[in-house]
Amino acid sequence: MKFLDEYRDGALAQKLAAEIHRITTKPWTIMEVCGGQTHAIVKFGIDELLSKQIELIHGPGCPVCVTPLEMIDKALEIAAKPNIIFTSFGDMLRVPGSTTDLLSVKAKGGDVRIVYSPLDAVTLAEQNPAKEVVFFGVGFETTAPATAMAVYQAEQKGLKNFSMLVSHVLVPPAIEALMSSPSCRVQAFLAAGHVCTVMGYEEYFPLVKKHRVPIVVTGFEPLDILHGILMVVQQLESGRAEVENQYSRSVRREGNQPAQDLIRKVFQVVPRKWRGVGEIPQSGLGLAGAYAAFDAEKKYGLADRHVDEPAECKSGLILQGLLKPHECPAFGAKCTPEHPLGATMVSSEGACAAYYRYRRHEATDAK
Amino acid sequence: MNKPDFNAVCPLPISQYPHVLMAHGGGGTLMHRLLEDVFGKAFSNPILDTRHDSAQFTVPAGRLAMTTDSYVVRPIFFPGGDIGSMAVHGTVNDLAMSGARPMYLSCGFIIEEGLPMETLWRVVCSMRDAAKICGVQIVTGDTKVVDKGKGDGLFINTTGIGVIEHEQKILPQNAQPGDAVIVSGDLGRHGMAIMAVREGLEFETTIKSDSAPVHEPVLELLNNGIEIHCLRDLTRGGLASALNEIAEAAGVKIGIDENSIPVREDVHAACEMLGFDPLHVANEGRFIAFVAPKDSDRALQILRCHDVSAGAVLAGKVAEKHMPLVTLKSAIGASRILDMPSGEQLPRIC
């Protein structure tokens, strides 16, 4: 397929891997932030091509995985109410809350629907004026413009039967939190290309300056990722710490200004809990005051609900890069994609699911 | 939005009731008319025409194959087929996977009250045409009507009987180290054709389902003395599920090469967009054949002479007796597990 196969060329991949190998003189630990990159790394076996001195740590960049348990529980409670059409992206439906998941709510008669775009949920609200339509808006800066647009359009259309459960999160505060942790082993980051397509990469300069850590904005195809790793290793080996842009075919320094304007109009930056990590200050987006009428948490009186995470799931350590999925005692035994203990096993972009799907035999051998 | 019409319509034989009523399943005159004017008219053959409680027929001496499958596809009409043609092809293909010559089908209809009679008739015509092309007779059947809201329009069950005219042992347990793994054509068309017209996910594409009977190329392989160890049609769960099931049954490790597996560009694009792996996506006219390595080239030649398997390729081989495992050489040359999909395929977030 054009514009895709070029970035999956086996011979070029081997060349890039050989170049990384050639310039690497000591061990380096690199975190890919985005779950999409984790998925590509494991699916294509990119880490197998790398020098053994390069360790990739899978970061917290899967939006499904970091959505806190209490938010899932709120979603479940709303979805089970009568006269509600509850909508979300496909992956969210499988994520277990404290007691059940959205697919089970659907099985018991709840009207839970997958939409491909938040705007489809707005259309549903228009088509079903006698029902309440709720959209579960999760994701990083990548999906935030589309959710913002949905709220904006709902307001423009004067829809009273549309609301949104918002659990958006932001990448730079997560990198800041990771780098500030005393146990942090990460020496460089591959930043998420799609996040930067929206936001640009100026907000990474202060992080690079403060923590002396290279950050390379990277795409999602095998050659993008290998190229990003090469650029990171070049910086590490030469003692540089800069923001660089590997994904220049999609990312501009200033990002997508109209999308950012919309995000700023509809949302405000709020503290946000990350599943398995805890609360990170200024790391989320919530609806701005002018759009409070569309806030499902307020509409259904759930704003004060708090739920503790289960101790058995080590996804917090995995999301922080302190544990590899197969090192978790529950991996592949008590925790599988069919019976996930935590979100990293649920989402197809979650590190545990990716390991389970593509690397299970190694994990079994290692045990 | 009006759904596009993918199928030509034959004239409806009964027009006084535009919708199916509960009485059409009630055992009275309405049901009698439905059976006579719709099913009896479309499927007419000497065995069915006896109108007995069970079909009677003579079978040749030797082994028979039997299979059953229920069809609940939504939407009922989709690009490249409909629930009726699929209910024939699917069951015919299951018989073909034993190397059997498909002969007779039964069909059970579960109809939701209120289904337009026109819709039922179109489906029945489609089944009739598919059965004719496959050379099978629909010899017995059943109709039930359920209350509005207790079904989803129309469900069909078909059971098939076929005759096994060869002496080979075609079973999943019989996949052997060294076997060539042949994939009969490009993958993922049915699943993505359905996805493209599912409510809430509509996207513009010209992808058509690959729904088609595959018994002819299979029978020709057998007639030419190809040593076949296992056949499996690639329906739900796609190639990944089929290979894993066979690895499990035979206790073998199977290795395949991603670069060798054909996926049409539009299917590939749709999969990329929705976050699906084409190897997990359903097909309705594709199968894999595990054949003795000596016969691999000849098998490919034979398959490529049939339209339905013109795109057949050698995708990999059975490596060794092993803890059940399927490995995939990825597009960039690294190796990984090819796992069964977990649960329903759900579109990814970003």
ipTM for the predicted complex: 0.77
Instruction: State whether B343 and A89 contact (CB < 8 Å).
Output: no
Residues facing A244 on adjacent strands: A216
Question: Hey, which residues 201-220 in chain B have their CB within 8 Å of chain A?
Answer: 201
Per the model's pLDDT, the better-predicted residue between B231 and B270 turns out to be B231
Average pLDDT of every residue of chain B: 91
Cα(B184)–Cα(B262) distance, integer angstroms: 10
Contact predicate B321/B189, CB 8 Å: no
Q: Is 50 exceeded by the pLDDT of residue A12? A: yes
Which among B322, B336, B189 is positioned nearest to B257, based on CA atoms? B336
Q: Dump pLDDT digits (tens) for B124-138.
A: 999 999 999 999 999
* Burial class, A19, CB count within 10 angstroms (exposed 0-12 / middle 13-18 / buried 19+): middle
Max CA separation in chain B (angstroms):
66
Chain B CB contacts of A358 below 8 Å: 336-337, 339
- Measured between CB atoms, which of A45, A139, A336 is closest to B334? A45
Write down the architecture of domain B22-164 according to CATH. 2-Layer Sandwich (3.30)
Q: Which residues in chain B are closer than 8 Å to A9, comparing Cβ atoms?
A: 332
pLDDT beyond 70 at B266: yes
pLDDT at residue B285 tops 90: yes
Residue B11 pLDDT more than 80? no
Inter-chain residue contact A348 with B334, CB threshold 8 Å: no
B265: contact with A, CB 8 A cutoff: yes
Contact B116, B76 (CB under 8 A): no
CATH says B172-337 is which class? alpha beta
Looking at residues A297-308, what average pLDDT do you find? 89
Domain with CATH 3.30.1330.10 in chain B: 22-164
In which order are the strands placed within the sheet that holds A162-169? A111-114, A84-88, A132-139, A162-169, A278-287, A267-274
Does B331 reach chain A within 8 Å, measured CB to CB? yes
Q: Are strands A278-287 and A162-169 parallel, antiparallel or unpaired?
A: antiparallel
Residue among A170, A163, A121, A120 at smallest CA distance from A144: A170
Tell me what the mean pLDDT of segment A118-138 comes to: 96
Transcribe A187-235 into DSSP letters. -EEEEEHHHHHHH-SGGGHHHHHHH---EEEE-SSHHHHHHHHHHHHHH
| CA neighbours closer than 13 Å in the CB half-sphere of residue B179 | 30
CA–CA gap between residue B327 and residue B350 (Å, rounded): 27
Answer for the pair B334, A49: CB distance below 8 angstroms, yes or no.
yes
B274, pLDDT greater than 90:
no
Set of chain B residues whose Cβ sits within 8 Å of the Cβ of A8: 331-332
Between A333 and A294, residue with greater pLDDT? A294
Strand partners, B111: B145, B154
Do A225 and A219 contact (CB within 8 A), yes or no?
yes
Q: What is the mean pLDDT of residues A159-163?
A: 97
Q: Give backbone dihedrals phi and psi of A221, rounded to 5 degrees, phi first.
A: -85, 160
Lowest mean pLDDT among A24-33, A167-176, B282-291, B328-337: B328-337
**H helices, E strands: number in chain B:** 9, 13
SS3 A83: coil
pLDDT of residue B14: 67
Question: Which residue in B has a C-alpha nearest to residue A116's C-alpha?
Answer: B201
Give the length of chain B.
350
Q: In whole angstroms, what is the distance from residue A258 CA to residue A215 CA?
A: 25
Q: Which of A361, A362, A364, A367 to mutate to test the interface with B (most CBs of B within 10 A)?
A: A361
Q: What is the mean pLDDT of residues A344-367?
A: 71
User: What is the tens place of the pLDDT at every residue in B193-227?
Assistant: 998 887 666 677 789 999 999 999 999 999 999 99
Q: Within the 129-188 window of chain B, which residues sit less than 8 Å (CB to CB) from chain A?
A: none
Q: How far apart are CA A174 and CA A278, in angstroms?
A: 11
What is the distance between the alpha carbons of residues A141 and B47, in angstroms, rounded to a whole number? 65
Q: Is the dihedral of CA B8, B13, B19, B22 positive or negative?
A: negative
Q: Determine, for residues B346 and A349 on separate chains, whether the beta-carbon distance falls below 8 Å.
A: no
Q: Which residues of A touch B330 (CB under 8 A)?
A: 43-45
Residues of B with Cβ-Cβ distance to A114 under 8 angstroms: 200-201, 346-347
Q: Say if strands A54-61 and A28-34 run parallel, antiparallel, or are unpaired.
A: parallel
Q: How many CA atoms lie within 13 A of A136 on its CB side?
A: 30
* Pairwise CB contact (< 8 Å): A349 & B349: yes
Residues in chain B within 8 Å Cβ distance of A104: none
What does CATH list as the number for A1-299+309-314? 3.40.50.11740
Q: What is the pLDDT of residue B346?
A: 62
Q: Do A48 and B334 touch (CB under 8 A)?
A: yes
Assess B259–A contact: CB distance below 8 Å, yes or no: yes
State residue A346's pLDDT score. 75
Helix and strand totals (H; E) in chain A? 17, 11
Which residues in A lie closer than 8 A to residue B346 (C-beta atoms)?
A: 90-91, 93-94, 114
Interface contact flag, B335 A48, Cβ < 8 Å: yes
Amino acid letter, A73: D
Measure Cα distances from A250 to A176, A209, A273 in Å: 24, 25, 30
Q: Is the pTM of this model over 0.95?
A: no
Q: What percent of chain B has pLDDT over 90?
A: 75
Locus of tokens 């998941």: A101
Q: Give yes or no for a contact between B113 and B148, defined as CB atoms under 8 angstroms apart.
A: yes
Task: Extract the tokens encoding B21.
Answer: 């009523």
B343:A8 CB<8 A: no
Yes or no: say if B199 and B102 are a contact pair by the CB < 8 Å rule.
no
pLDDT score for B343: 63
Q: What residue spans of chain A are helical by DSSP H?
A: 10-23, 35-44, 46-49, 63-66, 69-79, 102-107, 118-127, 144-156, 171-180, 193-199, 205-211, 222-237, 257-266, 296-299, 315-319, 343-346, 351-366
B334 has a chain A CB within 8 A of its CB:
yes
Closest CA to B233 of B248, B250, B245, B220: B245
Residue A160 or residue A275, greater confidence: A160
Asked whether A40 and A221 are in contact (CB, 8 A), the reply is yes
B59 touches A: beta carbon within 8 Å:
no
C-alpha–C-alpha distance, residues A64 and A350, integer Å: 8
Write the single-letter amino acid at A222.
P
Distance CA A344, CA A328 (A): 12
Quote the percentage of chain B above a pLDDT of 70: 92
Contact call for B337 and A349, based on CB within 8 A: no
Please say if the pLDDT value at position B3 is more than 60: no
Span(s) in chain B for CATH 3.90.650.10: 172-337
pLDDT digits (tens, 9 = 90+) for B148-179: 999 999 999 999 999 999 999 999 999 999 99
Domain boundaries, chain A: 1-299+309-314, 315-366
What whole-number distance in Å separates Cα of residue B87 and Cα of residue B213? 11
Distance from CA of B327 to the nearest CA of A (A): 9
**pLDDT tens digits, one per residue of B21-75:** 998 988 888 899 889 999 999 999 999 999 999 999 998 888 999 999 999 998 9
Tell me the C-alpha distance between B293 and A18, whole Å.
Answer: 35
Which residues of chain B lie closer than 8 angstroms to A349, CB-CB?
A: 348-349
Contacts of A225 in chain B (CB under 8 A): none
- Choose the weakest-confidence range: A35-39, A126-130, A292-296: A35-39
Is B62 in CB contact (< 8 Å) with chain A?
Answer: no
**pLDDT over 60 at B6, yes or no:** no
Does A63 contact B350 at a Cβ distance shorter than 8 Å? yes
Beta carbons of A114 and B200 less than 8 Å apart? yes
- Beta-carbon pairs below 8 A across chains A and B: 104
Across the interface, whether the CB atoms of A114 and B334 are under 8 A apart is answered no
Among the partner-chain residues A64, A103, A115, the one whose CB lies closest to the CB of B200 is A115
The answer to whether residue A305 scores a pLDDT higher than 90 is no
CB contact under 8 A, A348 and B348: yes
Average pLDDT for residues A341-347, to the nearest whole number?
77
User: What does the alpha-carbon distance between residue A275 and residue B215 come to, in Å, rounded to a whole number?
Assistant: 52
Establish if B224 touches chain A: CB-CB under 8 angstroms. no
Task: Give the contacts of B290 (CB within 8 A, at least 6 positions apart).
Answer: B174, B175, B176, B179, B180, B181, B182, B228, B229, B230, B231, B246, B318
Model confidence pLDDT, tens digit, residues A187-245: 999 999 999 999 999 999 999 999 999 999 999 999 999 999 999 999 999 999 999 99
Q: Does B198 touch chain A (CB under 8 A)?
A: no
